[in-house]
């Protein structure tokens, strides 16, 4: 056994990360995540000694966080809408604005009884499609990603929650052969010029293929607008996450491509434009 209790290990780690100007909440995230505990569990075990091997693992993770590693990658999982999902360096770490996008879809279809066909394009960890399926088990959900490594993470997350999803390795819609009632996507949308504004750990550790897009970050939206029509059912709805400065540009892309569609722009909880909804109408 080590000479440190869980309380002493937490205290050491909090002091260590504070010297590197890292929030002490990260220490609790690592310790609780490593043990699969909640705060009550930690309090109940404060005076229990940590096994040596466990402390060494915890110490290594704390040191890596101070070097810039995202704690979610060290733990191998992240929380999203109250659930845990596997994450790897092949997938983005879930963020609050994506949760708000999912909540928008759920609110719009909260009274829907039909078995909708839903596609999560560029699924990464699968959090969007899986979260929608968990709340609406009768929906038929397809998860797609251009990265087979990311798609394997999404598949693992679907199996974790015992869900039957259709998983397709695809560059946007190219490998799909059906139409959908709802399409949701958090595509790459960061312009190369914005790299200097980003957190260093994001640039260093998160997959660039899921972050950056050409044409000032608008390339994927333009491709979607050009390619989506054959995959739409009648009165289909598209939901997109966007960069906080892209609202009007993305809205214009879809208004130009689909003059009969209704295009809505929505802000996130901080007041930034972060979501687009396109309601397609038969011409």
Hunting for tokens 């390339």 — which residue is that? 219
Helix%, strand%, coil% for the chain, nearest 5: 45, 20, 35
| Full-model pTM | 0.94
Structure-block tokens of residue 134: 């968990």
Neighbours of 143 (CB within 10 A): 31
Stated as kind and residue range, the H or E segment containing 254 is helix 247-257
Burial 107-128 (b: 16+ CB within 10 A, else e): eebeeeeeebbbbbbbbbbbbb
161 is in an annotated binding site: no
Work out the pLDDT band at 152, boundaries 50, 70, 90: very high
Residue 2 predicted with pLDDT over 60? no
CA angle 253, 257, 236 (to 5 degrees): 100
**Which pLDDT score, from 0 to 100, does residue 276 have?**
98
Q: How does pLDDT run across 202-229, given as a tens digit for each residue?
A: 888 889 988 989 999 999 999 999 999 9
137 is in an annotated binding site: no
Residue 80 predicted with pLDDT over 80? yes
CATH code, 77-279: 3.40.50.150
Rounded mean pLDDT, 111-137? 96
188 is in an annotated binding site: yes
Q: How does pLDDT run across 252-281, given as a tens digit for each residue?
A: 999 999 999 999 999 999 999 999 999 999
189 is in an annotated binding site: yes
123 is in an annotated binding site: yes
Residue 138 predicted with pLDDT over 60? yes
Residues 6+ away with beta carbon under 8 Å from 214: 192
Residues 6+ away with beta carbon under 8 Å from 33: 71, 75, 77
Rounded mean pLDDT, 160-165? 97
186 is in an annotated binding site: yes
199 is in an annotated binding site: no
Mean pLDDT for all residues in the chain: 95
Rounded mean pLDDT, 76-101? 96
Counting beta carbons within 10 angstroms of the beta carbon of residue 36, is it exposed (0 to 12), middle (13 to 18) or buried (19 or more)?
exposed
122 is in an annotated binding site: yes
Residue 1 predicted with pLDDT over 60? no
Residue 130 predicted with pLDDT over 90? yes
Q: How does pLDDT run across 46-70, given as a tens digit for each residue?
A: 999 999 999 999 999 999 999 999 9
């Amino acid at each position: 056994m080590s000479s440190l209790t869980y309380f002493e290990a937490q205290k050491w780690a909090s002091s260590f990360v504070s010297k590197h100007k890292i929030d002490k909440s990260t220490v609790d995230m690592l310790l609780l995540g490593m043990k699969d505990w909640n705060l009550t569990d930690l309090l109940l075990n404060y005076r229990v000694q940590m096994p040596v091997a466990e402390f060494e693992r915890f110490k290594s993770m704390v040191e890596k966080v101070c070097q810039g590693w995202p704690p979610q990658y060290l733990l191998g999982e992240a929380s999203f809408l109250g659930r845990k999902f596997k994450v790897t360096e092949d997938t983005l770490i879930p963020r609050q604005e994506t949760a708000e996008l999912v909540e928008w879809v759920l609110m719009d279809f909260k009274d829907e009884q039909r078995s909708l066909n839903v596609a999560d394009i560029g699924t990464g960890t699968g959090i969007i499609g899986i979260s929608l399926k968990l709340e609406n088990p009768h929906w038929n959900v397809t998860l797609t990603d251009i990265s087979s490594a990311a798609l394997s993470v999404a598949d693992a997350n679907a199996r974790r929650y015992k869900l039957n999803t259709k998983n397709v390795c695809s560059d946007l819609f190219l490998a799909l052969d059906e139409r959908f009632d709802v399409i949701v996507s958090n595509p790459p949308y960061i312009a190369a010029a914005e790299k200097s504004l980003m957190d260093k750990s994001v640039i260093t550790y998160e997959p660039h293929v899921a972050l950056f897009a050409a044409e000032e970050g608008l390339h994927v939206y333009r491709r979607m607008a050009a390619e989506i029509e054959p995959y739409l059912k009648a009165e289909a709805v598209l939901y997109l996450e966007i960069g906080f400065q892209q609202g009007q540009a993305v809205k214009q892309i879809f208004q130009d491509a689909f003059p009969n569609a209704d295009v809505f722009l929505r802000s996130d909880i901080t007041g930034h434009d972060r979501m687009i909804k396109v309601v397609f109408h038969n011409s």
